[in-house]
Amino acid sequence: MIEPNGHFCNDCVVRGAAVCSSLNATELREFEHLGRRVHFDSGETVFSEEDITTSFYNVLEGVMRLYKLLPDGRRQIVGFALPGDFLGMNISGRHNFSADAIGVVTVCQFAKAPFNRFIEDRPLLLKRINELAIRELSQARDHMVLLGRRSADEKVATFLLGWRERLVARKGLSDTVPLPMSRQDIADYLGLTIETVSRTFTKLERHGVIEIIHGGISLLDPARAEAMAAA
């Protein structure tokens, strides 16, 4: 669902953190016309793997799950996108993962061709996009280590601390960690089953490391969580 363009980049919640932080006031005014705000309801798919890429997306509000499916239905969540994240870049001309809204999401959508044309003579914007890609690549490698070499306990503890850490940048540090995604989402992100995630949460709670609360957890003993995560 597209809303009429009654928005301005200057008021944008992610201005400064996002891809557009590399633009000056003049450029921003031109850039403004390229993007339009689009809302998605909980569970809606923003784009699917193998779809031809027609747009890029800048997340403004909400959380998205980014995932790949195997032919038999097994799912691997390759990341969660938060406000400021930029989605849709690829070489093949097709998306290489799918993206769903977890809860209500607002994105700034850019048609591919005009966006690419805009980049053409803005090396600073390209540089910014490159930085974001390199940062993501580093995160992807960290996640490979988690998937390939960590135990279930370590995976869950690492996830909770990492998720909290990501929220710090946007909402400030807090021991209350909202988890908008389902247990199944967490399992598919960590390469575990839903039962193992649930059992591990319960175990962490029994040991006084976390308290399971509605819609998230409360981190009671960050030090012990760190110890579990580090191995």
**CA 69/CA 85 separation, integer angstroms:** 22
38 touches a second copy by CB under 8 A = no
228 touches a second copy by CB under 8 A = no
The radius of gyration of the chain from alpha carbons, rounded to an integer in Å, stands at 19
Segment contacting DNA by CB under 7 A, of 51-59, 96-104, 163-171, 212-220: 212-220
31 touches a second copy by CB under 8 A = no
> Cβ 4 to a second copy, closest distance in Å?
33
Contact yes or no for 94/53 (Cβ under 8 A)? yes
208 touches a second copy by CB under 8 A = no
157 touches a second copy by CB under 8 A = no
Helices 123-149 and 112-120: crossing angle in degrees, nearest 10, is: 120
Site for a second copy in 92-121 (CB under 8 A): 92, 96-97, 121
Residue 51 DSSP one-character state: S
Residue type, 141: R
**CA 63/CA 85 separation, integer angstroms:** 10
> Cβ 182 to DNA, closest distance in Å?
4
DSSP string, 146-186: HHHH--HHHHHHHHHHHHHHHHHHHH---SEEE--S-HHHH
From the list DNA, a second copy, none, pick the one residue 51 interacts with, judged by a Cβ distance below 5 to 8 Å according to partner type.
none
Q: C-alpha distances in angstroms, 221 versus 22, 122, 230?
A: 39, 47, 15
Per-residue binding letters, 154-183, with DNA (x by CB under 7 A): ----------------------------xx
Site of interaction with a second copy (CB under 8 A): 68, 70-72, 74-76, 78, 89-92, 96-97, 121, 123, 126-127, 129-131, 133-138, 140-145, 147-150, 188, 190-191, 230-231
